[in-house]
Amino acid sequence: MAYQLTWLSQVLQDAGLKVIECPGWQDRGRAEMGKVLGVLCHYTGGSRQGNMPTLDILIKGRTGADALPGPLSQLGLGRDGTYYIIAAGRCNHAGPGAWKGITSGNSSLIGIEAENTGAKNDSPWPEVQMDAYRRGVAAILQYIKQPDVTWCVGHKEYAPTRKVDPNFDMDEFRAAVKAIMDGAKPTATPALPTEQVSPQRATLRLGADNDPDLVKLVQAKVGVPADGVFGPGTEAAVRAFQEKNGLMADGVVGGGDLGGGVKGEG
């Protein structure tokens, strides 16, 4: 029996987002949702390696001391900005908590588990992932005709005594989601902190002041159009390349290794 959120995949695709449907997702859930009011944002706290290493746990649930039957969220969000569509029914993601007068998180809020360890070595989040996070939430709120962006809530706000996820500023995040809902043009990609690198070891990354010629070399290597601009598409392709080659998929290219291949900074 299909549950009510069978629209999730198409709505995200219509927003221009990458989607992978996990087989059986339309029929997966703990029960039917209630009236859907908004979105609850999480990070997985999973492994540093891979694009969506927590996917299997999100589908099946956790075993052991803190066992919890799956599915653990309707959506997973990979480091490359791909949405994994897991379930169309109710999921065990909220736990005890409250927001704007409701305590029924699991039946009222759609859970998005974005892949991030929550640790320092996994920060800043890839812009391609944050961009997809904001656009996905905006598309969902618009589809359910929820104009009030405060129905996009962080788990750390819903359950402040138990949870710290996600580890980004929710007010800033909501403002960016609201801007998308209002039809504003996407803002410029925020620049990442400038690194002290010698010219021989130039580092290429999204948002940095990259050398277009070096970027073109990288783009040729990872198979995207060589326009010299290190955008979200290039970052995603670099991640895919790194993952395929057993490197840390951080989307950052160390310039000194251009001759031999694309390499993460480690």
Euclidean distance between the first and the last CA atom of the chain, given in angstroms as a whole number: 46
Interacting span for Zn ion (CB under 5 A) from 77-85, 138-146, 163-171, 231-239: 163-171
Does 155 contact Zn ion by CB under 5 A?
Answer: yes
Does 165 contact Zn ion by CB under 5 A?
Answer: yes
Site map (CB under 5 A) of Zn ion, residues 2-41, x = contact: ----------------------------------------
Element (H, E) at 203: strand 203-204
CB of 114 to Zn ion, least distance (A): 10
Does 42 contact Zn ion by CB under 5 A?
Answer: yes
Q: Return d(Cα 87, Cα 13) in angstroms, integer.
A: 16
The tokens for 8 are 């999730």
Q: Return d(Cα 199, Cα 191) in angstroms, integer.
A: 19
CB of 116 to Zn ion, least distance (A): 11
Q: What stretches of 2-99 show up as alpha helix (H) in DSSP?
A: 8-14, 55-60
What's the chain's length in residues?
266
The tokens for 83 are 């949405």
- Total site size for Zn ion, rule CB under 5 A: 3
CB of 144 to Zn ion, least distance (A): 20
Does 127 contact Zn ion by CB under 5 A?
Answer: no
Tell me whether residue 77 or residue 253 sits nearer to Zn ion (CB atom): 77
User: Longest C-alpha distance within the chain, in Å?
Assistant: 59
Q: Give SS3 for 65.
A: coil
Does 156 contact Zn ion by CB under 5 A?
Answer: no
CB 239 within 8 A of CB 126: yes
Site map (CB under 5 A) of Zn ion, residues 199-218, x = contact: --------------------
Does 131 contact Zn ion by CB under 5 A?
Answer: no
Name the site residues for Zn ion (rule: CB under 5 A): 42, 155, 165
